[in-house]
Chains A and B, each alone.
Chain A
Amino acid sequence: MPTKSPPPDAEADTMNVINEIVAESLVTDGGQVGVTIENVVKTFQDTPALHGVSLEVGAGELLALLGPSGSGKTTLLRILAGLDAPTEGRVLFGSGDALNLDMRQRNVGFVFQNYALFRHMTVFNNIAFGLKVRPGSRRPSRADIRKRVMNLLDLVQLSGLEKRFPGQLSGGQRQRVALARALAIEPRVLLLDEPFGALDAKVRRELRRWLREIHDRTGHTTIFVTHDQEEAMELADRVVVMSQGRIEQVGTADEVYDAPASPFVFSFIGESSALPVTVREGRVLLGDRALELGVASAADGPAMLHFRPHDATIGKPGEDAIDGVVTSVRRHGSMRRLELSIGGNGTHVEIDAKPDFPVRPGGVVAFMPTRWHLFPANGHS
């Protein structure tokens, strides 16, 4: 309950403003819609960018498209926005076909990587733009536009800067103006292209938390593109890992981290090492030695054993462990990162050791992965 003590409580004021915005967007567009992507193919002059991508995005979900450059994530986002048209496939907003609508009609809030703020307009006019260009019948009155812009400025914590030009703002502030401008049109779906790409690390972390809060308050169906796995995992409800125009895995941060569906996901998310091994009758062989990894469900044949540096225990050289020659020792956060050369054929892995673990380059260390994944060696990527 907001207290009625004068002066009015600023916190309560902000909450009222936010509730108003939420209520307003619910009234005007009947809530958020989900997005259905069906078998979308995109080819640029014979170069395929997307090979039949299908994805369901829930209403109000915060989804990350994560992948290296060239994975097709930005292409997919631009298709959703209507900036590009797919070569094949369907895109539905709710139950309606979005591809029949051009960009104007699609009512999508798009935040560009470089923000694309209108340089010659003040912050106020930037945010008001989407409302001012509406046809007369749907255009709010000047007073309503003003109220809405001021509310949005409050929401993105930029009150008092409405008369500034974009050139007079910091990177983080521009980012927030871009978001407010996209939210002003009461979008059905909010799309962000590398939203924090141009910011320094500290501002990036702050804005990440802040964007999550905004999403939780306004409840927009939000899809953002990033190449930063940390950003995707921390911010998104679900992460879509993409590589070379295909979706590798869709899942929560825990799922993609703990149960990667492919070697690509394993190596792209988090740190990982891989060892070439052979599977024979359910046993995992390194060279001709069997490793104590229990029964592997993989088919017989060459395979790659993936594990993370921190998922390994160090022991004494012995029968069942993997030994390696230490080639380098680095400090890595609270741990010490050892790089080991295994079997003398150029294979290197990394494992973590306690900082007080006695080790020096040239010494021999034996370890066993405690958590690991086995993928057939001929699997893609």
Chain B
Amino acid sequence: MADIAHVPAPAVRHFRSASTESPAVRGMLITIAVAFLLSFLVLPLAIVFFEAFREGFGAFIEGITEKDALAAIKLTIIVAAISVPANLIFGLAASWAIAKFEFRGKSLLITLIDLPFSVSPVTSGLIYVLLFGAQGFFGPFLQAHDIQIIFAVPGIVLATIFVTFPFIARELIPIMQEQGTQDEEAALSLGATGWQTFRRITLPNVKWALLYGVLLCNARAMGEFGAVSVVSGKIRGKTNTMPLQVEILYNEYMQTAAFALAALLALLALVTLLIKSVLEWRYADEIAAARR
């Protein structure tokens, strides 16, 4: 009897499905991922908040309500409020064109959309200086008409739009391509106008990708440093966005004020993530239905 009892068990006990790693490997992978996240993301973020509140909540409030800080916050919001809608319209138009039509130069357009991802933000900023600066291509014309672009809000907005160009289009193109044109054809065959088709069919079909793109675009628009720092001129209270203001304060050893603003920026990123997660949780059914 004892012999029989020994025989069949090992084969069964050692069976693992082909896609399952051993517990040791699993534990190792999870440890690496968690350790990486903790040391490179959570820890720095925690330090930002720790530094911001090191001298108490009052100092933090003081830091973000200081005159130049408030101006920086206001400017950042204005820049985002212009560049996000601009890229929303551009992103929709570009992804619509790419996904729904065949035309010459389509792959070139796709490549161009990606350009801001591959170009260094500093270069992006310099492009605008070379175009609109006093010695630039349009410089004499702009000076003659007393239009200030570089070292002013328009330049910052332009640089931000350039840098955040791909975010919305990149989110929309794959999903629109995957969905094809059949839903639109169906809507048209049912008598809908082009605008009705866009509003009732195309837009709802991509709304989650669009929202995600807008959130990413907004986060980047508010956080952009390199390109903006080139075109802004860093005039305190006038052309400093939040990231620029943080740098200036930090360089002047105003730790608490610098980290207070930095914490505000970080908070913004966290809120963006939170909104996205809440929406995904709240509309999980609808998102799942839309993907089937």
Q: Report A-chain residues with C-beta under 8 Å of the C-beta of B200.
A: 118, 129, 133
Q: Report A-chain residues with C-beta under 8 Å of the C-beta of B286.
A: 120, 165
CB distance from A318 to the nearest CB of B (A): 61
A110, B286: Cα distance in complex, Å: 26
Check if B289 sits within 8 Å of A112, measured CB to CB. no
A101-109, A230-238, A280-288 - interface stretch: A101-109
Check if B191 sits within 8 Å of A134, measured CB to CB. yes
B59-67, B151-159, B180-188, B249-257 - interface stretch: B180-188
B273 interface contact, C-beta 8 A: no
Q: Report B-chain residues with C-beta under 8 Å of the C-beta of A182.
A: 189-190
Check if B292 sits within 8 Å of A104, measured CB to CB. no
Given A129-B192, A185-B191: A112 in contact with B186 (beta carbons within 8 A): yes
Q: Report B-chain residues with C-beta under 8 Å of the C-beta of A110.
A: 185-186, 189
A2 interface contact, C-beta 8 A: no
A-contacting residues, B185-212, CB 8 Å: 185-193, 196, 200-201, 204-205, 207
Q: Report B-chain residues with C-beta under 8 Å of the C-beta of A103.
A: 185, 188-189
A-contacting residues, B270-292, CB 8 Å: 286, 288-292
Q: B interface vs A, CB < 8 Å?
A: 182-183, 185-193, 196, 200-201, 204-205, 207, 286, 288-292
Check if B201 sits within 8 Å of A118, measured CB to CB. yes
Q: Report A-chain residues with C-beta under 8 Å of the C-beta of B185.
A: 83, 103, 110, 112, 116
Q: Report B-chain residues with C-beta under 8 Å of the C-beta of A121.
A: 204
A219 interface contact, C-beta 8 A: no
B-contact 0/1 string along A111-155, CB 8 Å cutoff: 010101111110000000110011000000000000000000000
Interface size on A, residues (CB 8 A): 29
Q: Which of B190, B205, B207, B289 contacts A181 (CB 8 A)?
A: B190
Q: Report A-chain residues with C-beta under 8 Å of the C-beta of B193.
A: 104, 133
Chain B interface main SS type: helix
A167 interface contact, C-beta 8 A: yes
**Can you name 25 A-B pairs with beta carbons within 8 Å?**
A83-B185, A104-B188, A104-B189, A104-B191, A104-B192, A108-B189, A110-B185, A110-B186, A116-B182, A116-B185, A118-B186, A118-B187, A118-B201, A119-B289, A119-B292, A120-B286, A120-B289, A129-B192, A130-B190, A167-B288, A167-B290, A168-B289, A181-B186, A182-B190, A185-B190
A336, B291: Cα distance in complex, Å: 48
B-contacting residues, A283-335, CB 8 Å: none
Top 4 A-B pairs, shortest CB-CB distance: A167-B292, A130-B190, A116-B186, A133-B192
A83, B187: Cα distance in complex, Å: 12
A181, B192: Cα distance in complex, Å: 13
Looking at A117, A118, A134, which has the most chain B CB atoms within 10 Å of its CB? Answer: A118
Given A83-B185, A112-B182, A116-B182: A167 in contact with B190 (beta carbons within 8 A): no
A156, B200: Cα distance in complex, Å: 25
CB distance from B286 to the nearest CB of A (A): 7
A120, B182: Cα distance in complex, Å: 14
Check if A114 sits within 8 Å of B182, measured CB to CB. yes
A118, B179: Cα distance in complex, Å: 11
Q: Report B-chain residues with C-beta under 8 Å of the C-beta of A81.
A: 189
Check if A107 sits within 8 Å of B288, measured CB to CB. no
CB distance from A370 to the nearest CB of B (A): 48
CB distance from B155 to the nearest CB of A (A): 40
Check if B191 sits within 8 Å of A107, measured CB to CB. yes
A182, B186: Cα distance in complex, Å: 9
Looking at B183, B188, B207, which has the most chain A CB atoms within 10 Å of its CB? Answer: B188
Closest B residue to A113 by CB, please name it: B182
A193, B186: Cα distance in complex, Å: 12
Q: Report B-chain residues with C-beta under 8 Å of the C-beta of A130.
A: 190-192
CB distance from A137 to the nearest CB of B (A): 13
Q: Report A-chain residues with C-beta under 8 Å of the C-beta of B290.
A: 119-120, 167
Looking at A112, A116, A121, A168, which has the most chain B CB atoms within 10 Å of its CB? Answer: A116
Looking at A114, A119, A182, A185, which has the most chain B CB atoms within 10 Å of its CB? Answer: A119
